[in-house]
Amino acid sequence: MEVGDAMCKAARITLVGFENTDLGRITVLIRGDVGEVNMAVSAGLEAAQRVHGGEVLCDRIIPRPHENLEYIFPIHYSANIEHFNADIRFPPPLSVG
């Protein structure tokens, strides 16, 4: 959870999900522009080191995955995550009067 949070805060990416593979090993799936994904992965690697007992076994960035992968793996964009792609809008500053 901490790794995914750090990744989302560090770059403009979409957190697709987590996979609990086995023996407490967790895979974090993200999508975005390659530069943003690189920044997010760097932040995630740092966050993993801060977790007690955390250890990174490997990381992979696949630029422009083939469209067939989206049908096999749970990496596709869906309506459930689309609203996270919107720009963050802050309210206008309060007027001083």
pTM above 0.75?
Answer: no
- Looking at the structure of the chain, the number of domains it has is 1
**Cβ-proximal residues to 26 (8 Å cutoff; 6+ apart), any chain:** 3, 18, 19, 20
Query: Mean pLDDT across the chain, nearest whole number?
Result: 80
15 touches 30 (CB < 8 A): yes
Q: Would you say residue 3 lies in a domain? A: yes
Residue 20 is assigned to a structural domain of this protein: yes
Residue 83 within a domain: no
| Confidence bin at 29 (pLDDT 50/70/90) | confident
Residue 81 lies in a domain: no
Cβ-based neighbours of 1, under 8 Å, separated by 6 or more: 18
* Closest residue by Cα to residue 44 from 19, 1, 7, 11: 7
Residue 42: per-residue pLDDT: 96
Domain-located, residue 17: yes
Residue 87 lies in a domain: no
Domain of 14, CATH number, reads 3.30.70.1710
Residues spanned by the domain of 13? 1-60
Burial of 55 (0-12, 13-18, 19+ CB in 10 A): exposed
Is 69 a member of any domain?
Answer: no
